[in-house]
A and B are shown apart, each in its own frame.
Chain A
Amino acid sequence: MNDQIAEFAGPAIDWFSVSPLVVLLAGALLLLLVGSLTPAWRRGWYGLASAVTAGVAIVLSVVLWRDIATSGPKLLVGGALALDKFTLLATIAICAATLLVSLVTSDYLAGENSDSPEIYALYLTAAIGGIVMVAANDLVVLFLGLETLSLSLYLLAASNRKRAESQEAGLKYFILGGFASAFFLYGVALTYGTTGSTRLIDINGALNSYITVPRNDTLLLVGIGLMIVGFGFKVSLVPFQAWTPDVYQGSPTPVTAFMASAGKVAALVALVRVFVTAFPSRADDWGPAVLVLSALTLVVGSVVAVVQTDVKRMLAYSSISHAGFILVGLEASSHRSSADVGDGLVAIGVYVVLYAALVVGTFSIVTVVARNTSDGATSLDAFKGIGKNNPVLALAMTVLLLAQAGVPLTSGFVAKFGVIQAAVSVGSYKLAVIAMVCAVIAAFVYLRIMVSMWLSDSTISEPVKVPLFSAVAITVAVVVTLAVGILPSLLLNLTSGLSQLAIK
């Protein structure tokens, strides 16, 4: 035993490959340290510092992407993290969301008359957790990433100390998030007990040698089930979605944008990686479960959204139905052998990137509009007459909502087309039909907001002002939405080799 300890050497770390994480961590620590030692910075500088950090992480990820394109995917830090295009695409989406949300938060805090570095530091630590999750090749590393992300999000949700709703949202999110983490961890424990490892690839190896080494499959299936429940809470799949509307409504709106984009992208991509890498040999068992969850999530997310009166709650249900669409892609991958995970994975990668841009843009506009109401409320009434009041803003919102509905010539169409095509190509017609019907039902919700904006008379007299940083964020989101919608090849050309996950 003592000899083992004496011989212990840590794994070799390829620092350049983990540089996005290092940059984000350095940014978070600098913001906290320098922010607390210096007198208050000029308004907007904290947000700018956070945005620049996220921007540097994006640039590094793009450099890594080019690296991977020539040298192929690989594992890092002794096999704990995977570096492949799927990881990097999600990393870029998370960092881009962090960048845009930091800008919007800066304006939001100016409206609330408070500015502090903590919120931005929490965004950056949440982004670190998210990136660790999407890169994790080990269930325990995944759990640590999940908790880093979640703990930051609980605090962000409760970060507006003046509003009771914000604290209520934080507590609800905390209790249900902790509950979900415990389920996920129990699933990890049972999987570990059956396969003797927490490495995704070793789990797959152990399960493939099943015939020669018989093990107890009941424990494994219970473990997989518990992990689905844990993930289900995190990505708010029906029937684990109850917290989502409350938390989305109560949190400060930029935080909601961050949860719905970065938080959801991280959890969904991690979910997909776990099932595609570790359990392809049990696809016959989890495939039907994913099918049922996906169908339920699509139906409930679309139908319940219709009866909401608060825009943030509507968008919360719409984000639930988006998660259902992404599961359609996962269900499609469950029909493939492990060697060829195929279209489903590519469709999911494309979907999460486009969805992140869309949702950040939409919630940014909600933030801007809510600034003008007396109590920061986000009921549908607040959007009445925006079309006459500020036509450019209303037009941007219309584009983003049409994209969420999946109308052609917007990025939403490319995203939804991808997952449905993947489902059809493996013969999951039932799920494809449900997804298409739900897309139509969900379109009604977006139409309601548009009708309010364009066809009602305004309740506010002064024009809605869009602060500079928010204007930049909204413009970026709208440009991405239209550019990918009109020229899908811009994004789709990048996806070659996306389904090649790192395995050694």
Chain B
Amino acid sequence: MIGLSLVPTASWYLILAAVLFGIGTFGVLVRRNPLVMFMCIELMLNAVNLSFVTLARQLNDINGQTIVFFVMVVAAAEVVVGLGIIVAIMRNRSSVTADDLAELKG
């Protein structure tokens, strides 16, 4: 009617992915809690997954969808390693924020 179609097209999903990626990036840069920073990184990876699926659909190519599984496995491995490191730090200190981690600078 007014040239505005409300049927979602591929570019809607690409834009959503870009926005999610942006939110994740912003979160890593401004939040001070390593756990939240870590969640923001996961958000970025999942935004990329959304782009992969959308692009695969657009190209009518199965590879892009397969890649998503690889990324999910990597993200899971990252969780294991990241939480391991955070827990190891928690044991020595009562709390962890990025500002507490200031022993190394110069």
Q: Interface on A for B, CB 8 Å cutoff?
A: 140, 143-144, 147, 151, 154-155, 158, 161, 164-165, 167-172, 174-175, 178-179, 181-183, 185-186, 188-190, 192-193, 196-198, 245-246, 249-250, 308-310, 313
**Interface 0/1 of B50-67, CB less than 8 Å to A:** 011001001101011001
B86 contacts A171, C-beta separation under 8 Å: yes
Complex-state Cα separation, A175 to B74, whole angstroms: 15
Given contacts A144-B74, A179-B41, 5 further A-B contacts (CB under 8 A): A158-B85, A171-B101, A193-B58, A196-B61, A250-B103
A174 contacts B82, C-beta separation under 8 Å: yes
Complex-state Cα separation, A164 to B100, whole angstroms: 11
**Interface 0/1 of B66-83, CB less than 8 Å to A:** 010011001001100110
Complex-state Cα separation, A158 to B90, whole angstroms: 13
B101 contacts A172, C-beta separation under 8 Å: yes
Residues of B within 8 A of A167 (CB): 85, 88-89, 92
A164 contacts B59, C-beta separation under 8 Å: no
Q: Contacts A171-B85, A178-B41, A179-B41; is A249 near B104 (CB within 8 Å)?
A: yes
A171 contacts B67, C-beta separation under 8 Å: no
Q: Contacts A193-B51, A196-B59, A196-B61; is A178 near B106 (CB within 8 Å)?
A: no
Q: B18: shortest Cβ distance to chain A, in Å?
A: 9
Complex-state Cα separation, A100 to B24, whole angstroms: 39
Query: Which chain B residue shows the least CB distance to A162?
Result: B92
Q: B69: shortest Cβ distance to chain A, in Å?
A: 10
B104 contacts A144, C-beta separation under 8 Å: no
Q: Interface on B for A, CB 8 Å cutoff?
A: 14, 21, 24-25, 28, 34, 37-38, 41, 44-45, 47-48, 51-52, 55, 58-59, 61, 63-64, 67, 70-71, 74, 77-78, 81-82, 84-86, 88-89, 92, 96, 101, 103-106
Q: A494: shortest Cβ distance to chain B, in Å?
A: 35
Question: 27 A-B residue contacts at CB 8 Å?
Answer: A143-B74, A151-B77, A154-B81, A164-B103, A165-B103, A167-B92, A170-B88, A171-B34, A171-B85, A174-B82, A175-B34, A175-B41, A178-B38, A178-B78, A182-B21, A183-B44, A186-B21, A189-B48, A189-B51, A193-B59, A197-B63, A246-B105, A249-B104, A249-B106, A250-B103, A308-B106, A313-B106
B104 contacts A169, C-beta separation under 8 Å: yes
Residue with the highest number of chain A CB atoms closer than 10 Å, among B37, B81, B89: B81
Q: How many contacts between A and B, using CB within 8 angstroms?
A: 112
Residues of B within 8 A of A151 (CB): 77-78, 81
From A182, A249, A308, B45 is in contact (CB under 8 Å) with A182
Query: Which chain A residue shows the least CB distance to B78?
Result: A178
Q: Is the interface of B mostly helix, strand, loop or mixed?
A: helix
Residues of B within 8 A of A143 (CB): 70-71, 74
A182 contacts B89, C-beta separation under 8 Å: no
B85 contacts A155, C-beta separation under 8 Å: yes
Query: Which chain B residue shows the least CB distance to A190?
Result: B51
Residues of B within 8 A of A140 (CB): 67, 70
Q: Contacts A164-B103, A175-B34, A185-B45; is A192 near B52 (CB within 8 Å)?
A: yes
B103 contacts A192, C-beta separation under 8 Å: no
From B47, B55, B70, B105, A193 is in contact (CB under 8 Å) with B55
Complex-state Cα separation, A147 to B78, whole angstroms: 8
Q: Contacts A140-B67, A155-B81, A171-B86; is A164 near B92 (CB within 8 Å)?
A: yes
A310 contacts B106, C-beta separation under 8 Å: yes
Q: A412: shortest Cβ distance to chain B, in Å?
A: 25
Q: B86: shortest Cβ distance to chain A, in Å?
A: 7
Residues of A within 8 A of B55 (CB): 189, 192-193
Residues of A within 8 A of B47 (CB): 186
From B61, B64, B101, A168 is in contact (CB under 8 Å) with B101
Complex-state Cα separation, A245 to B52, whole angstroms: 35
A155 contacts B84, C-beta separation under 8 Å: yes
